[in-house]
Amino acid sequence: MNKRRIAAPVRVYRQVADDLEARIVAGEFPIDSRLPNERTLAVEYGVSRTCVREALLAMEISGRVSIRVGSGAFVLPPSDPIVTDERSPSEILEARLYIEPEICALAAARATPEEIDAIANSLQMMRDEQSTGTESEQGDREFHRLIAHAARNSMLYDVLVSIWKEMEDPMWQALQKHIRNPSLRLGWIADHDAILAALQEKDKRKARTVMKAHIERVTATLQKGKFI
């Protein structure tokens, strides 16, 4: 098989998406046909399966394919394109992995009892969202925001808020739609329980470690979970 080479810079997923869309227009993949699976496309383009997944998400947002979890990505009839070049979920999680563990360590040292109570309340909000089956992630966002606030570093707080703002974009939301399930949310709530315990104990090392482990688990879920 001849590999299709993609130049290396920023937004590689967008380059893969553009090339796949060009191949659709050229008739290589007819309407209603299924695109090759993630593994095949990753080998063909010489990129990771995560990159392929993000390219397919971008194509779904643009109306070029329909993703059916467990079945594949199917070509749709032409429509008015919506081109997206957003930061990818993998970029967002990489940034969080480098920043949030240190924010959490600072919060463990600096949080007041009142701030710890507020963080605990946001965790209860997550449990309430889980029990009612709501798709809202407000409790999750508030949990992480309050930890950043308790770290008492305005620069780090602003960075964290900007990262979470990126998670409101269509790419992240489309991915969440495809992988969201109750068991995953229960696992992430358990992670948050461990983070809260570290903050309550004012254990900087533990807070750093459990936050890092949480983000690594989220990343692994998004990379390895069943998609197409």
Please report the pLDDT score of residue 199 as a whole number: 98
pLDDT at 177: 75
The whole-number pLDDT of residue 8 equals: 45
Per-residue model confidence (pLDDT) at position 226? 53
Please give the CATH number for the structural domain made up of 89-224: 1.20.120.530
The three state secondary structure string of the chain is CCCCCCCCCCCHHHHHHHHHHHHHHCCCCCCCCECCCHHHHHHHHCCCHHHHHHHHHHHHHCCCEEEECCCEEEECCCCCCCCCCCCCHHHHHHHHHHHHHHHHHHHHHHCCHHHHHHHHHHHHHHHHHHHHCCCCCHHHHHHHHHHHHHCCCHHHHHHHHHHHHHCCCHHHHHHHHHHCCHHHHHHHHHHHHHHHHHHHCCCHHHHHHHHHHHHHHHHHHHHHCCCC
CATH 1.20.120.530 residue spans of the chain: 89-224
Print pLDDT tens along the chain (228 aa).
Answer: 555 555 444 588 999 999 999 999 999 999 999 999 999 999 999 999 889 999 999 999 888 999 987 789 999 998 766 666 678 888 899 999 999 999 999 999 999 999 999 999 999 999 998 888 777 788 999 999 999 999 999 999 999 999 988 888 888 877 777 777 777 788 889 999 999 999 999 999 999 999 999 999 988 887 765 555
Report the predicted TM-score, pTM, of the whole model to 2 decimal places. Answer: 0.76
CATH architecture of 12-75: Orthogonal Bundle (1.10)
Looking at the chain, which residues constitute the CATH 1.10.10.10 domain(s)? 12-75
**Residue 24: per-residue pLDDT:** 94
